């Protein structure tokens, strides 16, 4: 029987606590080592203690001093962009693999269904954002059929599912997601918008992806639909609540839409707008099902850690 690799999670808030529970309940290759926080009264640390997980309320410094630290192979950081930059600097001498769930983006952007295989040697990988994890696979899928000249995503999440860390990172969310839409998704230009929906009862995460391509004929449109549906099925393997909300839509646009396209990439024949609407329902391990934004981040991070560990063990064999 293969020994599981011990991990630490920095951040005892919503994302960190949900990730801790996923490691404990879902993973076949990871075991929960230490939950790290800065508030000794936080619910996450209290829950970890009840579950028999080692804890520290002294932040990353407490993690480094912990007797179990040498056994930790992977460190997940579920704090904030600013905090991750400091945490990464403190952890850099110790050779740990870091998985960054903040928008800090020190390491390469990773979306498991798209480019995880390209980054299996990286020692610090960035999970982009919840909106990025939900939408970049779709942009990439369309780009395998036809060049995506512009991609705009809107992530609508329940306000109740956005904790202090998420709210503190709103600006970084849009910047990081837009950059990853281009760098990972393959769009010539990307734009990202986040909506914190205060509706009661809270609504499940919804994401829209609107893309401009050159005009598409019927066979190419059919190929786009197949690529999108295939990608949705692939993401759903590690995020079971990820699904298409309705059929892929196509709208013919005039050359007026060219103001959204980078110079040199405009089409004199007009454009086809490809619209994809998604829904992400959470697994409900720590928070209610409406918190799909947390679920897709922690699920993607878990899949990434498992693959990185498998790659590391394969290299050592």
Task: Give one DSSP letter per residue of 153-178, joined into a string.
Answer: EEEEEEGGG--HHHHHTHHHHHHHHH
Residue 59 zone, left/alpha/beta (φ > 0; ψ -120 to 50; rest): left
Q: Does domain 130-290 have CATH number 3.30.360.10?
A: yes
Contact 140, 131 (CB under 8 A): no
Select from 2.60.40.10, 3.20.20.70, 3.40.50.720, 3.90.1300.10 the CATH code of 5-127+295-316: 3.40.50.720
pLDDT of residue 317: 43
Per-residue pLDDT of the chain (317 residues; tens, 9 = 90+): 568 999 999 999 989 999 999 999 999 999 999 999 999 999 999 999 999 999 999 999 999 999 999 999 999 999 998 999 999 999 999 999 999 999 889 999 999 999 999 999 999 999 999 999 999 999 999 999 999 999 999 999 999 988 777 788 788 889 999 999 999 999 999 999 999 999 999 999 999 999 999 999 999 999 999 999 999 999 999 999 999 999 999 999 999 999 999 999 999 999 999 999 999 999 989 989 999 999 999 999 999 999 999 998 776 54
pLDDT of residue 315: 61
* From-to residues of CATH 3.30.360.10 in the chain: 130-290
Question: By CB neighbour count within 10 A (0-12 exposed, 13-18 middle, 19+ buried), where does 166 fall?
Answer: buried
pTM equals 0.95
* From-to residues of CATH 3.40.50.720 in the chain: 5-127+295-316
Contact 283, 295 (CB under 8 A): yes
Residue in the structure block whose two tokens are 């390209």: 118
Cα–Cα distance for residue pair 226/203, rounded to 1 Å? 28
Q: Which of 10, 78, 81, 130 is catalytic?
A: 130
Question: By CB neighbour count within 10 A (0-12 exposed, 13-18 middle, 19+ buried), where does 311 fall?
Answer: middle
User: What torsion, rounded to 10 degrees, do the Cα atoms 300, 137, 79, 46 define?
Assistant: -40
Residue 208's SS3 state is strand
* Helix ranges (DSSP H) in the chain: 14-25, 43-50, 59-65, 81-91, 112-115, 130-143, 164-168, 170-183, 218-235, 292-316
pLDDT of residue 316: 57
Quick check: is 101 catalytic? no
Nearest to 208, CA basis, from 168, 180, 248: 248
pLDDT of residue 172: 86
Task: Report the DSSP pairing between strands 30-36 and 5-10.
Answer: parallel
């Amino acid at each position: 029987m293969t020994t599981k690799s011990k991990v630490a999670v920095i951040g005892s808030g919503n994302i960190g606590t949900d990730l801790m529970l996923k490691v404990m309940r879902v993973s076949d290759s990871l075991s929960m080592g230490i939950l790290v926080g800065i508030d000794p009264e936080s619910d996450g640390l209290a829950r970890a203690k009840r579950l028999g997980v080692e804890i520290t309320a002294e932040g990353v410094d407490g993690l480094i001093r912990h007797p179990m630290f040498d056994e930790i192979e992977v460190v997940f950081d579920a704090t904030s962009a600013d905090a991750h930059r400091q945490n990464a600097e403190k952890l850099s001498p110790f050779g740990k693999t870091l998985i960054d769930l903040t928008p800090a983006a020190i390491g390469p952007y990773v979306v498991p269904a798209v480019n995880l295989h390209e980054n299996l040697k990286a020692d610090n990988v960035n999970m982009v954002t919840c909106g990025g994890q939900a939408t970049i696979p779709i942009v990439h899928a369309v780009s395998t059929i036809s060049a995506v000249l512009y991609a705009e995503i809107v992530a609508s999440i329940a306000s109740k599912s956005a904790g202090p860390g998420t709210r503190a990172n709103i600006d970084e969310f849009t910047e990081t997601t837009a950059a990853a839409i281009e760098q990972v998704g393959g769009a010539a230009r990307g734009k990202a918008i986040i909506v914190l929906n205060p509706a009661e009862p809270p609504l499940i995460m919804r994401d829209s992806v609107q893309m401009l391509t050159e005009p598409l004929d019927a066979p190419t449109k059919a190929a786009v639909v197949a690529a999108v549906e295939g990608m949705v099925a692939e993401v759903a393997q590690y995020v079971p609540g990820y699904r298409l909300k309705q059929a892929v839509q196509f709208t013919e646009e005039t050359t007026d839409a060219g103001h959204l396209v980078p110079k040199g990439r405009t089409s004199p024949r007009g454009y086809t707008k490809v619209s994809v609407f998604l829904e992400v329902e959470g697994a409900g391990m720590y928070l209610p099902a409406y918190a799909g934004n947390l679920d897709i981040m922690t699920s993607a991070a878990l899949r990434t850690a498992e693959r990185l560990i498998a790659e590391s063990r394969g290299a050592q064999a």
